[in-house]
Amino acid sequence: MFSNQIRYTIMDELECAGFGHYGGSLSIVELLAVLYGEVIDATPENVNNIDRDYVVLSKGHSGPGLYATLALKGFFPMDWLKTLNKNGTNLPSHPDKNLTPGVDVTTGSLGQGVSVATGIAYGKKAIHSKGNVFAIVGDGELNEGQAWEAIQFASAKKLDNFILYIDWNKKQNDGWSDEVSKSGTFEEKLNSFGFFTQMVDGASVEEILSATHKALRVHDRPACIVLNTTKGQGIKFLENMENNHHIRPDESMMKELKKAKEELKALLD
């Protein structure tokens, strides 16, 4: 499965770096597998085609997940992954469209990616360009008011070429999301903003794919898919960690991570 390839590649990439954003990168693996493996038409050959689909990773700290996916899809050599976060790299901590082939929008300042994504979707409508805009936002990121202004805009402009994915992994840098700032029920909230909204198991490629196809058939309003995920998804050792947002593993932890990586490799052989 493509999701297993992505997950293994993330683990290998972050092992080479020696630290990084494990939790949030792993929680969007199945989504990335669906988007780049089944849905979008973005390829290294059509990056200049204005009618292509766009992907905006608003939760930019999950860049290692996007990098692993783009490398597997041939946007740049796999060897680049070994340079993550190193001096002179083309793969900085957060995605930079000026450095990394296949990255559509530079992100990192949380909340801003949703605004940029709605702007791209609106621009596509204005010039009658085909293709859709898929934005990936974190639940903790939705503490930002700017994101909700963009959501209002998308609804007001009836951007049916815009699909918002919420990675509801329930944690953020400062702890459990509900303890930092209660966001309420995302499905109800997005419905109230006029979105066509669905809730799915974020660990199920089949559910994400089915929901995406339904969202693509919606007309005259944007769509939102809430992904019920677990931070560190797919790696039990990480799922059970209290703080797994950004990890700098010690020797003992690194052994556990290498063991998990080998288990993933066995699934690929």
> Residue 3: is its pLDDT beyond 80?
yes
Domain that holds residue 221: 2-268
Q: What is the mean pLDDT of residues 23-44?
A: 94
Assign 108 a pLDDT band (cuts: 50, 70, 90): confident
Structural tokens at position 117: 């994504």
Higher-pLDDT residue of 269 and 44 is: 44
Residue with tokens 């939102």: 224
> Residue 106: is its pLDDT beyond 90?
yes
Beta-carbon contacts of residue 231 (< 8 Å; ≥ 6 apart): 23, 24, 26, 27, 169, 170, 171, 238, 239, 244, 245
Structural tokens at position 92: 């900085």
Q: What is the mean pLDDT of residues 94-105?
A: 96
Q: What is the mean pLDDT of residues 154-164?
A: 98
Q: How far is CA 211 from CA 143, 205, 240, in A?
A: 25, 10, 28
Distance CA 58, CA 154 (A): 16
Distance CA 14, CA 17 (A): 5
Helices 251-268/2-17 angle, 10° precision: 150
Higher-pLDDT residue of 174 and 16 is: 16
Q: How far is CA 191 from CA 120, 151, 152, in A?
A: 22, 11, 11
User: Is the CB of residue 13 less than 8 Å from the CB of residue 234?
Assistant: no
CATH value at residue 190 = 3.40.50.970
Beta-carbon contacts of residue 234 (< 8 Å; ≥ 6 apart): 3, 7, 26, 29, 203, 264
Quote the pLDDT of residue 177. 73
Helices (H), 73-156: 112-126, 145-156
Handedness of CA 253, 168, 34, 53 (dihedral sign): negative
- Give the helix/strand (H/E) hosting 138: strand 133-138
Distance CA 124, CA 62 (A): 26
Quote the pLDDT of residue 104. 96
> Residue 94: is its pLDDT beyond 90?
yes
Q: What is the pLDDT of residues 224-260, one digit of tens each?
A: 999 999 999 999 989 998 888 888 999 888 999 999 9
Q: What is the mean pLDDT of residues 199-221?
A: 98
Q: Into how many domains does the chain fold?
A: 1
Helix (H), strand (E), coil (C) string for 157-170: CCCCCEEEEEEECC
Quote the pLDDT of residue 180. 73
Beta-carbon contacts of residue 156 (< 8 Å; ≥ 6 apart): none
Beta-carbon contacts of residue 124 (< 8 Å; ≥ 6 apart): 50, 130, 131, 133, 161
